[in-house]
Structure 1
Amino acid sequence: MDFTLTERQAYWRDRVRDFIEAHVRPRDHDYHAQQAEGGRWKVLPVIEEEKARAKAAGIWNLFMPPASGRPHVDDSFEFDGPGLTNLEYALCAEEMGRIGWASEVFNCSAPDTGNMEVLHRYGTRDQKDRWLKPLMNGEIRSAFLMTEPAVASSDATNIETRITRDGDDYVINGRKWWSSGAGDPRCEIAIVMGKTDFEAQRHAQQSMILMPLDAPGVKILRHLPVFGYDDAPHGHMEIELENVRVPVENMLLGEGRGFEIAQGRLGPGRIHHCMRTIGVAEEAIEKMAKRLLSRVAFGKAVAEHSVWEQRIAEARIDIEMCRLLCLKAADMMDKAGNKAAQAEIAMIKVAAPRMALRIIDDAIQAHGGAGVSEDFGLAKAYAGIRTLRLADGPDEVHNRAIARLEFGKHGGRDAIAAAKAAAGAR
């Protein structure tokens, strides 16, 4: 195995890293100062300014597929991006994860990344013209409405939102929550997952449809803070959908295709999250090390106390292991497809947030009372990463998938059935 980065991989990673260090990190204080002024739900000038700079530099929409070389028979070229592979993008995503708002600067923040991929892959030309183009230009934001408060949404077949055909419209009724991005005043479109046929086969009941946020009947009930953090201007909202009418042409791919779309959307998104998480962990270990070297307790630098040597060493080991697993998953997705990489995707989705939480928790401890304050950003980082143990499927769902794949190597269902039969016979 050759773990050396290719020239292209290093080129894109370094461009992102250098831009962040030159333009994003120096303006982090501007970001927080602007967020503290006036209302919470607003567009921050610092983000728009740095977006324009990144776009002009060509560090933009990095996750979007490349020009295919085919004749322009439909919409191929107009909606293409730089064409980074999952592996190449993973290296860039880690750099973006080091500062919370960096991803948006490159037009690479969730849920827009996943929504743009859905529109690119499954959208019609009209849908792309109306929604994908302004999303790729960074002119608007989007939301993804899937989770519901009334059901266990870890099993997406439980969702109860109804999407009913009525003439030339679909009528949407239901209640969603943790609708990330819906608090942003630039958020104009949402992808909604609901059921068009409650009697169809289990995974053919669901559909996805495009819903303008300003459609009559869309009501934002409340904002949902995460451990007290509002994540403005992005936010997470609970939304009531009451007789919301959207044109028939807003359906994505066709009725009953929602699960198919979801699986295409979530695989790459999970890798993006995990690599950003590794960036968060790198920031935390750096802050921890600097704090330990700068403080004295009981007559010597805190870094010289053996307990902290152990914690720093374990943090570095854990980061390196998770990075390799994440890059392996991304490489498998590129070479063999998402399905072939499903075990690796599930494993890193469990491992990365747990790893980062341990390191952030140790960093908080190293900072003492300052660690739980707003001064070092560690408490907010912990809140954000803790959410990832639930987002895009909770740990338990991914562990279940990993276990089933493992059992499958050794007889799987047949072995379980035989064991049950033997137990019954006794």
Structure 2
Amino acid sequence: MNTAPTNVGTTGRRVFVARLADTGVFDPLGEKVGKVHDVVATIPLAGPANVIGFVVEVGPRRRVFLPMTRVTAIKPGALITTGLLNMRRFTQRPIETLIISQLFDRIVTMNDESGEVRILDVGIEQRRPRDWIVAKLHVQRVRQTSLGFRRGGETMTVGIGEVTGLLKTDSTQAATALVQHTEDMKAADLADFLHSLPVDRQLAVALELPDERLADVLEELGDDDRVSIVSRLDAGRAADVLDVMQPDDAADLVSELPDTTAQSLLALMEPDEAEDVRRLLIYEESTAGSLMTTEPVILGPDATVAQMLAAVRREDLPASLATMVCVTRPPMETPTGKYLGSVHIQRALREPPQTLLGTILDADVEPVSPGAHVATVTRLLATYNLTVLPVTDEDGHLLGAVSVDDVLDELLPDDWRDYDDDVTDRLMARSIDG
């Protein structure tokens, strides 16, 4: 993110926070122990705003607090610590402000009565060893259009004392700069980041994300978070996002919504997408029907290996579904014609491109019925080392397929995204402490 002035960077005793994001955190021996996720400050009504530490990401979905007293140096591309990290998860206190998550994009007012500005970046300065304060704000003037919209104007760097409203939360606060900070995150990591944000910031980020990106993130979020976000989106936007979600994930989400809200959104969705979701909603929980997607990769027996490889190369196709193609008679959309068998990607890669799929079918693995319990699905996936299991009706028509990631979601505890176990804690502590 290039929001800070180009002539002020990590030289001297001033650092702009946007350039600290994702910076490596190293112990005195040069071993990397994590990376900077956010900067924690306390901003009083009067007096200096102190930087009290950093939120450091030390592993997948795990963030801990690093006090400023344990930071020995802030250098370009590196934060040097004493080597001691408290491995308990970071929990924000009411007096604390997360600079990246909460201050970026906040609208404040210039004290010289020249109008409102939007915070793009925050400069912190060192007063003494291990003593840093929030000193500068890199801002952009905000102009109101005739229709009442806010538009950006010139950018400038001002002192923190030159603005008011720094502590005032704004329900309409955008998340443009914050979203730029998350552009390179995988969907699962962005979902975890969203989970850590206050509710109003979750919605602000969701409003800034494109439909496809938001759909990917909602598929990775827990039920409480995604229901909260979708419930507060404009109904038309929520329906658009549901349209591009995987049908099984969309059905799971819709099932968690109040019935009136769910029916309204289904009515606004594209008819074909809504029909897929309605079909999945009729199945009981913990069955193959409730877990399956209605959009596995489906080809006919006359399709070639070359066509199969092109089909599984789609960027929007989940990795688990790309490992196998279901071969059926027409029609090719679920519910299809008669299911004939499957072709695994490894088998296809060993065949000439012109080979017909009908000649290399694997018909040994029997599909399951939509009423099959998740325990049966799990046993079959494990027994035959599969990542996808076809689901057919009593007449042999393909209804969909269950992927291993959906089975894991079903089997893991509801709060698995927040789950810590003592073994993991001990192993991580040992790796950090050496």
Superposition TM-score, scaled by structure 2 size = 0.24
Q: Per residue, is there more helix in 1 or in 2?
A: 1
Rg larger in structure: 2
Ranked by relative contact order (alpha carbons within 8 Å, sequence separation 6 or more), the top structure is 1
Give the alignment's TM-score, normalised by structure 1. 0.25
